[in-house]
Amino acid sequence: KDPDVTDIAVELLLDACGEKNTHLKKLVLSNGRVTDRGVKLLCATIVACRTITHLDLSNNAITDEGAEAIAGVLLVSDTLRYLNLRGNRAITAKGVGAIGRASRLNKTILRCIVSDEDAKTDKLLEPYDSPVKRRAEKKQQERAARREERRKVANSFADDELDPNVRRVRAAGLPADDPRYHMVVREAMRGDGAGSSSDDASDDDAEDPALIASAVFLNTRAPGLKKFLTLEDPTTVTELDLSSLAARPLSDFVHDVDPSIANTPSFDDAACVLLCDALRKNKSLTILSLANNALSHDAAFALSQLLRDNSTLRVMDLSRNRFGSTTTSIVSAVAANDSLLFLDIGNNNAPPFLQERLDTLLALNQEPKALKAA
C-alpha cells in the first residue's frame, strides 16, 4: 500500500509498453495508490502514444495537481473517450473545474466521471459528460434562435405595410371558422363599412350561388375527392393539383348541374375557403397547387389560416392569382408554420418586399433538414 510502490509499478508498466506502443487502448488502474506523480507519467504516455481511449484511475490518491495534469491531456488529446476519477476524494472544486473546462473543449471525450458522492460535483460536470449532449444543447439553442428570428419576421409586418383591407380584418381578430370572419372580409372588399349580424351573413352564405357551386364542385371534382375531404375517413392522398380551373365552368365537370350555376368558375374564392376548412386538420396532404385560379382576398385569408393550422403541407403553389397586397397575410402565416418548405407566390401583384421575407422564413424551415443531413 506504499504510494511510491504503486507509482513505480505504473512507471514500469509504461516502460514495458513503450511510448510508441500502438496496441494499448485501455488502462484500468483503479483501487490503488496512484498519486499525482504516477498521473503525470501516465499523461505523458497518453499524449505520446495516441492510442489510449479508456483511462480508469478511480479510487486512488490523486489531488488537484494530478487533476490539472489530466486536464492538460484533455486539451490536446483526440483519442481519449472515457475518463474515470471517481473516489479520488482529495480532488477539490479546483481540480473539478479544471477537468470540466478542458473536457468542454475536447471533441472526443464521451464520459468524464469525477465523483458519484458529491452532488455538486456531479452537477458541475454534467454539461461536459458528452459531446453528443453538447451538440444536442447547441441544436436546442439554434432552434430557439430560429423561433426568435421567425417571431421577428412575423412582427416586421407593420400595419402601414399592409393593405387597408388587411388591416381591417387583422383588427377584427376573428378566426377563419367564425361566421363573422368572411363577413368582415366581404365588407372590406366592398369598402362600405356596413355591418350585418352573423345570422344574416350565414343566411347570405346559404343562398350564395357561388358557394353552392363550390360545394358541388368540391364533392364531384374527381373520384375520391369527397372522401378525401371527409375528415372522419382516413386517406393516403398526398398530392392535390387544382391549378388552372378558374377558366373552366362547373358544367365541364358536373353534367347535371343546375343551369343557374352551370357557368360558375370551377374553382374560385368560395371553393378555396371550403377546401381550406376541410384541410385544416388533414394529416396526409403534403403538396397542394392552386396556381392560376384568379383567387383573391377571401382565398388569401383562408389560406393564411390553413398555414397556421396545418402541419403536414410541405409544398404549395399559389402563383398566378390575384392576391395583391393580401399576399402579406399568407407570408406572415408562414412565420407560424415550421413544416412548409416551398411556397410560390409569384405573379400575384404582391408588394416586392414579401419575397425576401418569405425566403427568410422558408430558409428557417429548411435549416433543420440540413442539420440532420450533416
Q: What is the pLDDT of residues 141-192, one digit of tens each?
A: 877 777 677 666 655 555 555 555 555 555 555 454 444 444 444 444 444 3
Question: pLDDT value at position 204?
Answer: 39
Tell me: do 129 and 238 sit in the same domain. Answer: no
Tell me: do 109 and 180 sit in the same domain. Answer: no
- Residue 211 above 70 pLDDT? no
For 36-86, the pLDDT digits (tens) are 888 888 887 777 777 888 888 888 889 998 998 898 888 777 788 888 888
pLDDT, the chain, mean: 70
**pLDDT above 90 covers what percent of the chain?**
4
Question: pLDDT value at position 75?
Answer: 76
Domain boundary among 100, 133, 166: 133
- Residue 371 above 50 pLDDT? no
Alpha-carbon gap, residue 283 to 305, rounded angstroms? 16
For 226-247, the pLDDT digits (tens) are 444 544 444 566 777 788 877 7
Q: Which of 86-100, 195-209, 227-241 has the highest mean pLDDT?
A: 86-100
Tell me: do 78 and 173 sit in the same domain. Answer: no
Tell me: do 209 and 346 sit in the same domain. Answer: yes
CATH number of the domain where residue 68 is located: 3.80.10.10
Please give the residue range of the domain that contains residue 126: 3-133
Pick 19 or 311 by higher pLDDT.
311
Tell me: do 366 and 219 sit in the same domain. Answer: yes
Closest C-alpha to 85, from 105, 109, 49, 106: 109
Tell me: do 206 and 345 sit in the same domain. Answer: yes
Question: pLDDT value at position 1?
Answer: 44
Tell me: do 103 and 179 sit in the same domain. Answer: no
- Residue 372 above 70 pLDDT? no
For 312-367, the pLDDT digits (tens) are 898 899 999 999 888 888 887 887 788 888 899 999 988 887 888 888 888 887 76
Domain boundary among 99, 117, 133: 133
In the chain, the number of structural domains is: 2
Tell me: do 334 and 195 sit in the same domain. Answer: yes
Write out the three cell numbers for 285: 396532404
Tell me: do 33 and 182 sit in the same domain. Answer: no
Tell me: do 127 and 162 sit in the same domain. Answer: no
For 115-140, the pLDDT digits (tens) are 655 433 443 344 344 555 566 667 77
Whole-model pTM over 0.75: no
The answer to whether residue 146 is domain-embedded is no
Tell me: do 246 and 360 sit in the same domain. Answer: yes
Question: pLDDT value at position 237?
Answer: 65
